[in-house]
Amino acid sequence: MASLEVRPALVADVKPIMALVNELAMQQVMLPRSPASVIENVRDFFVADVDGQFAGCGALAVTWTDIAEVRSLAVHPLHQKHGVGRALVEALVADARRLGIPRLIAFTYVPGFFAKMGFTVCQHEDLPHKVFNDCMHCPKFLACDEIAMTRVLDAKASPPKLFGKPQRAIPLPQRTPGFQGPEPERPRNAP
């Protein structure tokens, strides 16, 4: 019986992550990642080892305080259909819960797998604009054919009314109530 371990990624995993994700991307089953995007976001990644050998990866990209995206989920073809993908998603879900994130999303070509992981299909238009920030770097920008799916981890902290509403602008820096210190100088043209 093979041993399966899921653990946070190390920089030594960048090479096998890149090799697997981009091999699968060439088969058009997922989107490619640049070396920089994997290296800079290595802390988002979890890796699955089967008998001590790299067998797959997945990343949790925090988009906002109430939403995170499951990205770059990939299991080596030799290890697929043996529970590795499920173990990776479970690790990402546990990490999202640890961070207090109430909702996950995924853009995928394998809705059947994500349905098994508790996700349901939603409309791209129903998602907050912020989740599309990285789409600008995607080769399929403006021609996205991935299916959007979502899984609520904490219904109270993620009311459905958040969906479909325009994102509020990021607030300008303002004084935290109770902060002790001299009044900040106002910019000359401030209203």
Please tell me the distance from the alpha carbon of residue 82 to that of residue 75, in angstroms, as a whole number: 10
The nearer residue to ligand COA, 15 or 165, going by C-beta atoms, is 15
Q: What is the DSSP string of 25-72?
A: HHTTSS----HHHHHHTGGGEEEEEETTEEEEEEEEEEEETTEEEEEE
Q: Please tell me the distance from the alpha carbon of residue 66 to that of residue 102, in angstroms, as a whole number.
A: 6
One residue of 62, 86, 147, 153 binding ligand COA per CB under 6 A: 86
Nearest of 35, 4, 7, 5 to residue 19 by alpha carbon: 35
Lookup: tokens for 157: 């902290």
From 6, 59, 93, 106, residue interacting with ligand COA (rule: CB under 6 A):
106
The interface mask with ligand COA, positions 113-152, x = CB under 6 A, is: x--x------------------------------------
Per CB under 6 A, 16 contacts ligand COA: no
Which of 5, 109, 130, 155 forms a contact with ligand COA (CB under 6 A)?
A: 109
Establish if 85 lies at the interface with ligand COA (CB under 6 A).
Answer: yes
The least distance separating ligand COA from the CB of residue 125, rounded to whole angstroms, comes to 20
What is the total count of residues that contact ligand COA (CB under 6 A)? Answer: 20
Q: Which is nearer to ligand COA, 17 or 30 (CB)?
A: 30
Burial class (CB in 10 A: 0-12, 13-18, 19+), 153: middle
Q: Which of 32, 66, 82, 157 binds ligand COA (CB under 6 A)?
A: 82
Strand partners, 48: 6, 56
